[in-house]
Structure 1
Amino acid sequence: MFSVAFSSIRRYSQHLLRPLRTVIPRISAFRDPDLDELDLQAPRYVPASLDILTKTTRFSRREIQLIYRSFKQECPTGIVTAEKFRELYSQFFPLGDASYFARQIFQLMDQDMDGSVTFEEYLVVMSMLSRGSLDEKVQWVFNLYDSNGEGQLTAEKLTDVAVSVYEMLGSYTDPPWINETTIKDHVARVFSKMDTNQDGIVTFTEFKEFCITDEGVRRNFGVFDSSL
């Protein structure tokens, strides 16, 4: 369940991070006017300056310019609405329904809860997922499951996200069709491992301990290539 969730987030994030892998090795001393766009006035939403973005993320100025170019291709207005985000996510999972899972990811990115994700909000999350600490990544995934911000997880919360993941993957699931009863049984087993004191809730401490000690989950915390 956790491996699938991480893989889906990785697929989407790497789509817009891909220019870093293909372009950065070929960058030389020349200046491309389009790469200076963040320092110019734009008729629509204008991101913060490069100086600010380099201070608030772990990306260099040139990396941010390249990510912005890719972001702008997908979102010309400079912002992403919930519906647009769902459409983009659905492109990666055309054989399933990505609505619920995409909404959960979108809500985490929409820090000011204004119904849209700006380039800055997107960049901060991508920076954390690609180059953040283990604690930051674990906290972010914990928040994904803790949809109402209570600071604790229940089996119901995990089941909701697990069902949404399988709905999103559709025919990509292995086996290709899993009913909700099977998912609940799987979640119950995982939840029991997390809930070390068996009180029916999983705290962040218990969640983190599980993520660190479970080999499969721990491996997936490294899928966001910090070297790009």
Structure 2
Amino acid sequence: MGSYSSNLDDILEEDMHHWYTKFMRESPSGLITLFELKTMLDMNGMTEEANGYVDQVFYTFDMDGDGYLDFVEYIAAISLLLKGEVNQKLKWYFKLFDQDGNGKIDKDELETIFKAIQDITRSYEIPPETIVTLIYEKIDVKGEGELTLEEFISGAREHPDIMDMLTRMMDLTQVLEIIVKALHYVNLPAVCHHCSGTAIHIHLNHAVC
């Protein structure tokens, strides 16, 4: 997995048009579905919250809503997550947290997302409810138990410790690495080890002669 971290850095350092041209030349379709993403993430046995989180990530990245992630959407996502201006990142976080789309995030929504992230990353250092309590104690100045986009952004910017916690919790590098790995292999020619020829089809990194 470490080699794909360098791939992410390379993507950001190189010209986007060059990377897009190169990718489309090697993988003309370059699409991945939600089912394929979950397969790559090995979602078997994951909690309902974790599955819901991956759904939310996928549909947030799927900017045109066609049911596929393409390379342009992938590039936009990693550019936002790894290089984006603070307000852009916070707007993206808010969109991901706001599961019912009502323009506000409550404690249950935030806790559900954090539980799902911990389930996927297998990191359980701080209980999600503790994180949520800390966030709302500091930035829910009205004490309403929910935050608007404006309250969320201003609160996170005013409290560097909250911003740092959100950044670490929302580090989707692992998910993005899996996406780019999947995109690299979907529909690429593969060599069959049984016949030493080129496979005529590849799906989720399995060649069929």
TM-score using structure 1 length: 0.58
CA 210–185 in structure 1, closer or farther in 2 if over 3 Å, else same: same
RMSD: 3.6
- Superposition pairs for residues 11-160 of structure 1, below 5 Å? 14=5, 17-20=8-11, 59-65=15-21, 68=23, 72=27, 77-88=29-40, 90=41, 98-160=50-112
Deviation at residue 162 of structure 1 after TM alignment: 1.4
CA contact (8 A) 2:53 2:116 kept: yes
Q: Does 1:173 align with 2:141?
A: no
Which runs of 5 or more residues in structure 2 are unaligned? 173-209
CA 16–63 in structure 1, closer or farther in 2 if over 3 Å, else same: same
CA 104–127 in structure 1, closer or farther in 2 if over 3 Å, else same: same
Deviation at residue 215 of structure 1 after TM alignment: 2.3
CA contact (8 A) 1:99 1:168 kept: no
Determine the structure 1 residue equivalent to 2:186: none
CA contact (8 A) 2:33 2:67 kept: yes
Listed one character per residue, the Cα deviations across residues 6-53 of structure 1 (whole Å, up to 9, x for unaligned) are xxxxx9x957524437x95xxxxxxxxxxxxxxxxxxxxxxxxxxxxx
Query: Of 208, 213, 216, which aligns to 2:161?
Result: 216
Task: Please give the alpha-carbon distance, in whole angstroms, between the structure 1 residues aligned to 2:33 and 2:108.
Answer: 28
Read off the aligned partner of 2:153 and give its amino acid letter. K
Which runs of 5 or more residues in structure 1 are unaligned? 1-10, 25-58, 176-181
Read off the aligned partner of 1:206 and give its amino acid letter. E
Listed one character per residue, the Cα deviations across residues 57-80 of structure 1 (whole Å, up to 9, x for unaligned) are xx54224345x37x94xxx74111
Listed one character per residue, the Cα deviations across residues 140-194 of structure 1 (whole Å, up to 9, x for unaligned) are 0111101222111111111110111122123x3327xxxxxx5334423322322
Determine the structure 2 residue equivalent to 1:163: 115
CA 130–173 in structure 1, closer or farther in 2 if over 3 Å, else same: same
Task: Please give the alpha-carbon distance, in whole angstroms, between the structure 2 residues aligned to 1:117 and 1:161.
Answer: 21
